[in-house]
Structures are given as structure tokens and as C-alpha cells.
Amino acid sequence: MTAQQKNELPYAEIPEAPDDYTAGGVVSRMIDGLGFRYYWATDGLRPEDLKYKPSPEGRTSEETIDHILGLSYVVLNSALGQVNGPREQEDMTFDQKRALTLENLQQASRIFKSAKDLGDYSVVFKGKESNVEYPFWNQINGPISDALWHCGQLVVLRRASGNPFNSKVSVFSGKLRD
């Protein structure tokens, strides 16, 4: 049973840290930090928040959420050893996108936690004539960092639309403050 089926989403709190410091454990923890930030950046967004954009050229909050969902697939596909290709845009609600993003991150984190050699987890994109492969390093400075960046944007956008980020969230401890 998935977290969504139990009506609980992952990352309301950051999971316990591994006992050992391994490359896979560090990447897993980075993804967990991303999941925690995304959970709270998107918690309680209203329809008017999702439609908000700061300028005609900017992205709406919902478009930013769509982008983060796409990035979560890149992270997960690397963990699964799958090729990233064009994805059919499904008609999903905000709640479905949010749950899927969090579940993608959780699954990737679990896989990376036990990874022995991150060199085995390339980022591969389907090309016109052949696939294009990047080393795992690009996963860190690419999709993972980009998604963290966009979580910060969601926090700014929700504040600008009149629905500020929960002030009890501690990104340092990965929990809500009392």
C-alpha cells in the first residue's frame, strides 16, 4: 500500500538519518531534504496560489509544481536505471501531482540509500538518434539542486499570493517546531 493509499504523504518529517556516512546515504538524505521542503512548500496551497504568477513572463505556482514533478522523474529514473524520454502530460489534480512527486522522491531515496557505487546511476535522456548519458554528478547539480531551487520559489510565490509558508517548519531539524 502506498502512502497515498493510506492517505498519508511522505516527508511531513524528514526520515531518520542513516547511521553510516556513505555516498548513497548522503544522496538519499539530499533527496529526503528535498522531499521535506517540497512537502511543506506545497502544503495547503489554494487554487488562487496555484494560479499566481509574479509577472506575465513568469511561471505560475502550478507550472513550477509541474516542473518539479518532471525533475522527480529524472531523479527516480536514474535510481531505477531507466531512460528519460518525452512524457505524456497526464491530466492530474494538484493533489495527485503533489503525491506523485513525493512518492517518486521517496522511492529514489530508498534506492540510493543502499547504493554502493553512484557511478552505476547515470542520468540518461532519450535522444533523436541515440541516448545521451551523463554521470551521476549531473544528478546532484542538475535535477536535485534544480528542484530545491524551485521549492524556494514556491515558498516565495505562496507568500506573494497571501498564503505564507508554515512558520513552524524547521528545515534544519526536518520537523515541525512545537
pLDDT tens-place values along the chain, 178 residues long = 344 444 699 999 999 998 899 999 999 999 999 999 999 999 999 999 999 999 999 999 999 999 999 999 999 999 999 999 988 777 999 999 999 999 999 999 999 999 999 999 999 999 999 999 999 999 999 999 999 999 999 999 999 999 999 999 999 999 999 8
What is the per-residue pLDDT for 88?
78
CATH number at residue 156: 1.20.120.450
User: Is 109 within a domain?
Assistant: yes
DSSP-derived secondary structure for 74-86 = HHHHHHHT--B--
What is the per-residue pLDDT for 87?
82
User: Is 29 within a domain?
Assistant: yes
Report the number of distinct structural domains present in the chain. Answer: 1
> Which of helix, strand or coil describes residue 93?
coil
User: Is 63 within a domain?
Assistant: yes
User: Is 18 within a domain?
Assistant: no
User: Is 129 within a domain?
Assistant: yes
Domain that holds residue 49: 23-176
What is the per-residue pLDDT for 3?
43
Q: b/e map of 5-30 (b: 16 or more CB within 10 Å)?
A: eeeebbbbebbeeeeeebebbbbbbb
> Which of helix, strand or coil describes residue 134?
strand
pTM of the predicted structure, to 2 decimals? 0.93
Give residue-wise pLDDT tens across range 39-70.
Answer: 999 999 999 999 999 999 999 999 999 999 99
Backbone φ and ψ for 84, nearest 5 degrees, come out as -90, 125
